[in-house]
Amino acid sequence: MAEQSFLTLRKLGVGYGRTEVLRDIDLNIDKGEFVALLGSSGCGKTTLLRSIAGFVRPSIGSIAVSDREVTHLPPEKRGMALVFQSYALWPHMTVSQNIGYGLKLRRYPRQEIARRVSEMEGLLGLSGLSARKPAALSGGQRQRVALGRALAIDPEILLLDEPLSNLDARIRLTVRHEIRALQRRLGITAIHVTHDREEAMVMADRIVILNAGRIAQQGSPEEVYNRPASAFVAAFMGAENVVRLNGAPEGERFRIAASDTNRTCLLTPSQPGLGAGRVEARFRAEAAQLQQRDGGEIVASDGLALHGRVLGVSYPGGVWRHVVAVEGGEVLVDAPRAFAVGDAVSVVIPAAHLFVFGVDASVASAIPVSRTPAAAVGVGEKSHAQSLNLETNP
């Protein structure tokens, strides 16, 4: 990865009429880096991608590629290629014609087009399918054709607008790997829009999480997963279990006060400068341990223990998932064995897997939380192909 920033966004803002969609977006992307824009529906991630592409004009701020200002350039002058969510393939054209379409518009010689198309077909596992039309292809094959069309023009930056959302789960896993391996092989800079947390984690060098038109946090997959900067990021990265507790700072750490329903524990707060009073503690279902509360349990000394009662049990595969009633709500806890409905239990969360933030009503209202946390995160923004110019014109 290059040390010098390749794509630079400065104080970018976008609005539609009086509606502000993006604001104060500062982002540096290195050459050869794979960046995922992650967020729930309406957060602005697709608008940001289309602003970079040139389909949406910013109301303020700038976009530069290799120190070249491109903010007001049309899509075809930016050296980028976009793979649409809908693939946007020409239904009357064959695989080879679709892949070579941008080269044809650029007036490449026939022999060069044929060579480049053949190269893309071989690279993407489409050899032998040249004469087929999109209707005769599987979803995964159509996605590869769209990717081949984008790569055929040799773009500096590849933009991916949820290109895997139309694929079934099994094919999606394979295509994820193929796109990531291809990006590394070609050394191309890629920006990928997704609402799927796991997809972003396994594909990207860096994840940029958007919330309400702003960057909530950016960092490596490990960083945003294990060190969320806010309650919103913690919730979006899977820590959807939430309990409200009381506590106070103790040196550089934070002590959770004991009550009838929880034991005291000393934690490192996730939010700097956390003051005394009510706090919000978040954790993932798989991070907690479930123990029978019969007087003989062993409770970890470096974590939080909550008293509760099992309300429901299911088997999603690999572990048993329990809905446990605790003070103020319900949480999900995974365990290697099934506890019975009605069992009195202790939910033990190791300190390293507990994220503690101050309670802020204005922030909490934006956090996707339910009384019984959902197993999945968000629903992706729908994107529509406005034009093919980005991929096809010089």
Pairing of strands 206-211, 329-335: unpaired
Q: Is residue 376 part of a domain?
A: no
Q: Is the pTM higher than 0.75?
A: yes
DSSP secondary structure letter of residue 270: S
Is 374 within the bounds of a domain? Answer: no
Residues recorded for the chain: 394
Query: Cα 36 to chain center, whole Å?
Result: 6
Number of domains in the chain: 2
Place of tokens 């490596």: 220
Q: Are residues 211 and 296 located together in one domain of the fold? A: no
- Alpha carbon of 260 to those of 64, 257, 327, 328: distances in Å? 57, 10, 9, 13
pLDDT value at residue 373:
41
Q: Do 117 and 173 sit in the same domain of this protein? A: yes
3-state secondary structure at position 259: coil
Query: Domain holding 21: CATH number?
Result: 3.40.50.300
Range of the domain at 305: 239-364
Shared domain check, 353 and 279: yes
| Sign of the four-CA dihedral 195, 34, 144, 170 | negative
Asked, for residue 83, whether it belongs to a domain, the answer is yes
**Greatest C-alpha distance within the chain:** 81
Angle 139-152/169-186 helices, nearest 10 degrees? Answer: 20
At 64, list the tokens.
Answer: 């530069």
| Predicted pLDDT of residue 3 | 52
Task: Give the separation between CA 75 and CA 296, rounded to whole angstroms.
Answer: 67
Q: Which residue in this structure is represented by tokens 């995974």? A: 334
Are residues 266 and 160 part of one domain? no
Average per-residue pLDDT for the chain: 86
Specify the pLDDT at position 301.
56
Q: Which of 42-56, 133-147, 338-352 has the lowest mean pLDDT?
A: 133-147
Q: How many CA atoms lie within 13 A of 125 on its CB side?
A: 12
* Element holding 36 (H helix, E strand): strand 34-38
Per-residue pLDDT averaged across 170-177, rounded? 84
Residue 211 lies in a domain: yes
Q: What is the pLDDT of residue 380?
A: 31
Residue 44 lies in a domain: yes
Burial category of 63 from C-beta neighbours within 10 Å (exposed 0-12, middle 13-18, buried 19 and up): buried
What does the pLDDT look like over 186-242, one tens digit per residue?
A: 899 999 999 999 999 999 999 999 999 999 999 999 999 999 999 999 999 999 999
